[in-house]
Amino acid sequence: VQGIGGAMTSAVILGMIVTMFPEHREQAKAIGVYAFVASAGGSVGLLAGGVITQSIDWHWIFFVNIPIGIATAVFARRLLDDDHGIGLSEGADVPGAILITAALMLGVYTIVKPAADYGWGAGRTLALGGASLVLLLGFLVREATARKPLVPLRILRSRNLASANLIQVLSVAGMFGVFFLGALYLRRVLGYDALQIGLAFLPVTLTMGTLSIRYSERLVTRFGARNLLVPGLALIMLALVLFAQAPVHGSYVAHVLPSMLLLGIGAGVCFPALMTVAMSGASPQDAGLASGLVNTTAQVGGALGLAVLATLSTSRSGHLIAQGQSTAAALTSGYHLAFWIAAALIVAAIAVVPLVLGGKQPALDAGAQ
């Protein structure tokens, strides 16, 4: 149910921002706020979840979205202008939706179950992975031939939009695992409780929020959105590399806090610029479609990234425990492997940036120049 509601809202948000804030400077500021909310949710959730778990009960974490949803609905009705859709048209691409959903679900299942239990080269893993790729290929064929496709492939002809979404898949895949596996490192290796883990990630939120909300518009206007991508991604990569050095008996100030600060600064610089680049590649009539695609690639990157990183980390830790290493040392080594792979994903994202830099400069950047 949450997934359906999230899809209905996230598919239109960026498109609404582009429409509501046509002036370049205001649009950059609005996208900065959006990027902060979208990116900082993980660390805010860790803090809120820690407070609720420790003070009340873990079941109550599922009630957090209720007051937020009610307040959002009330303010949306009061502050946003009424607009009317065209309704559900005939020929909706239900087969396309089923194909892509099945492909992604089977892909994630293959990573977290057969690959973890039987190995990446096992027949069951290869068979299910192959079936996932066949479903994905079927989706692409369907989108190329459907009268009203779920994702018109023409939208990917925009170099900015296609490259920005690829960068987002890779970068979110790398970052998302940090919140999950980093929290496990703090809990299972350093012995932090739920509240301490939430507070440990608070610097990410604070630095990301300060940059995204207060300075992203100035940075994008001054340097251009695309010119911020490499510095931001490089800081995220450095944060992951540093986290991969955290020892079994690490201290927060020496081994965790620097990574948190770098992660927050990098995300605060990179993600507002990335949203700006992505939306600059969409025509006004495709703004809603581009918005949905941007949010979808973020979810896909997070799901696949977490599945891969958690599976490889668990496999390595289990192998080392079987060899006689202590649990803490084995877990730490597994987390280190995940952080190194996450850093490699960020490097791959950086390698895609020239594809964006080679395209036509977005109007926002042109105005700054």
Contact between 290 and 306 under an 8 Å Cβ cutoff? The reply is no
The single-letter code of the amino acid at 98 is I
- Residue 330 to residue 337: CA distance in whole angstroms: 11
User: pLDDT at position 130, please?
Assistant: 95
Q: From CA 296, how far away is CA 267, in angstroms rounded?
A: 18
What pLDDT score does 369 carry? Answer: 36
Phi, psi dihedrals of residue 362, rounded to the nearest 5°: -60, 155
The answer on pLDDT for 366 being more than 50 is no
pLDDT for 321 equals 94
Cα distance between residue 276 and residue 206, in whole Å:
22
pTM of the model: 0.82
Q: State the greatest distance between any 2 C-alpha atoms of the chain, in Å, as a whole number.
A: 64
Write down the pLDDT at residue 344: 95
Would you say residue 121 has pLDDT above 80?
A: yes
**How far, in Å, CA of 325 to CA of 204, rounded?**
32
- Tell me which residue has tokens 């066949």: 134
pLDDT at 364: 40
CA separation for the pair 366, 369 (Å, rounded): 5
Residues in the chain: 369
Q: What is the pLDDT of residues 348-358, one digit of tens each?
A: 999 999 877 65
- Quote the CA–CA distance of 160 and 355 in Å, as a whole number: 8
Higher pLDDT, 259 or 81: 259
Q: What is the pLDDT of residue 209?
A: 80
The token duo for 164 is 């920005």
Using N-to-C axis directions, what is the helix angle for 24-55 and 216-223, rounded to 10°? 140
The answer to whether residue 197 scores a pLDDT higher than 90 is: no
Taking the C-alpha atoms of residue 189 and residue 132, their distance in angstroms, rounded to an integer, is: 36
298-344 pLDDT, tens digit per residue, is 888 888 898 899 999 999 999 999 999 999 999 999 999 999 999 99
Is residue 177 a contact partner of residue 342, using CB atoms and an 8 Å limit?
yes
- Give per-residue pLDDT as tens, 38-57: 766 666 777 788 788 888 88
> Which H or E run contains 297?
helix 287-322
Output 315 or 154, whichever has higher pLDDT: 315
Query: Is residue 368's pLDDT more than 70?
Result: no
**Comparing C-alpha atoms, which of 270, 271, 194 is closest to residue 232?**
270
HEC sequence for 259-291: HHHHHHHHHHHHHHHHHHHHHHCCCHHHHHHHH
| C-alpha distance from residue 353 to each of 249, 282, 284, 293, 356 (Å) | 37, 18, 24, 18, 5
Mean pLDDT over the full length of the chain:
84
Q: Is the pLDDT of residue 96 over 90?
A: no
Amino acid 365: pLDDT: 42
Contact between residue 266 and residue 239 where contact means Cβ atoms under 8 Å apart: yes
Q: Token digits for 354?
A: 């020239």
| Least confident stretch, 42-56, 136-150, 189-203, 308-322 | 42-56
pLDDT, residue 141, reads 93
**Pick from 111-120, 210-219, 318-327: least confident:** 210-219
Q: What is the mean pLDDT of residues 211-233?
A: 85
Residue located via tokens 């009539």: 285
Residue 203: closest CA among 259, 139, 135: 259
Which has more confidence, 84 or 15? 15
Cα–Cα distance, 239 to 305 (Å, whole number):
17
Q: Which of 60-64, 105-109, 112-116 has the highest mean pLDDT?
A: 105-109
Query: Which pLDDT score, from 0 to 100, does residue 291 have?
Result: 78
What 3-state class would DSSP assign to 15?
A: helix
Most confident segment among 62-66, 230-234, 265-269 = 230-234
Q: Higher pLDDT residue, 177 or 110?
A: 110
Euclidean distance between CA atoms 332 and 248, whole angstroms: 6
Rounded CA separation 148/101 (Å): 18
Q: Round to whole Å and give the CA distance between 44 and 51.
A: 11
Percent of the chain with pLDDT over 70: 91
pLDDT number for residue 157: 80
277 has pLDDT over 60: yes
